Amino acid sequence: MKQIIHNKGFTAYQLKIGALFFMILDHCHTYLGIGPTWIALLPRFVAPLFVYFLVEGFHYTSDRRKYFTRVAIFATLMFIGNISINYYFKNVDPMTNQMTLYSLLQGNNIFFTLSLHLLLLGCIERFKRVNAAHRLIYAVAFILITFVSLAFSEGGLYLYPILFLSYSFMNDKQTLSAGIIAWSLLFFIKAIITYATGASGISLIDTLLFNNEWAMAFVVVPLLLYSNQRGRNDSFSKWLFYIVYPAHLWILMILRYLIIA
């Protein structure tokens, strides 16, 4: 008799749909000021969750080069779209009141972060497999990509440890969750110290809302509820995030410029 296995929890597709909702909510608040300040806490789990799924995709994909190429192409398209919108609306650097590379590059681009993360994981895998004579090449590449990731990518410092926690403990959700909570706790302590020393100049609640990176800890909820099942697997589910992410951001950017104007 065939055994029927019931997988409790949510599939990857269901979790991604939920994450997309909170991501759009967050960006509506960021770009248009919609909703109260505390809304900013709710979506802090989204980026860490997508980093986890990136690691999972890296592990299971049949073609890592094609996977990286896809993410890198959309990162490039995000740069082109952001630059085009900022140029059209003549976005200027507040320090110089002139259009600069900095002002033109303004806008979210998590694809750039994720593409760098894939390169880092690729360096680790290559480092393990090549002989000692070639390891120096991948070690240097890893260091250079790390610098770019930390210095220039969205969520660089905050997401960097989560990438390697996810890579090391992808199938050990308890240890992964403990590591993420410990990392998030450091940012919570930092926010408390900022308030206690008077550096923030605002109330404790407002300090925690402004320095809200600690709320990444909430990602342990969807991680622990994840059934390890992919769920819906078709062209729609494959391309949904790639389309929704740039589309909603560019719409919000344009709306913000029109409202300001």
pLDDT (tens place) for every residue of the chain, 261 residues total: 333 344 689 999 999 999 999 999 999 999 999 999 999 999 999 999 999 999 999 999 999 999 999 999 999 999 999 999 999 999 999 889 999 999 999 999 999 999 999 999 999 999 999 888 789 999 999 999 999 999 999 999 999 999 999 999 999 999 999 999 999 999 999 999 999 999 889 999 999 999 999 999 999 999 999 999 999 999 999 999 999 999 999 999 999 999 986
Phi and psi torsions of 155, nearest 5°: 70, 20
166 is written with which tokens?
Answer: 């996810």
Give a yes or no: residue 2 inside a domain.
Answer: no
Q: For residue 134, tell me if it sits in a domain.
A: yes
The tally of domains found in the chain comes to 1
Find out whether 221 and 45 touch, Cβ atoms under 8 Å: yes
In a domain, 7, yes or no: no
Q: Which range marks the domain in which residue 148 is found?
A: 12-254
Single pTM value for the model: 0.93
Does residue 261 lie in a domain region? no
Non-local CB neighbours of 39 within 8 Å, separated by 6+ positions = 25, 26, 29
23 belongs to a structural domain:
yes
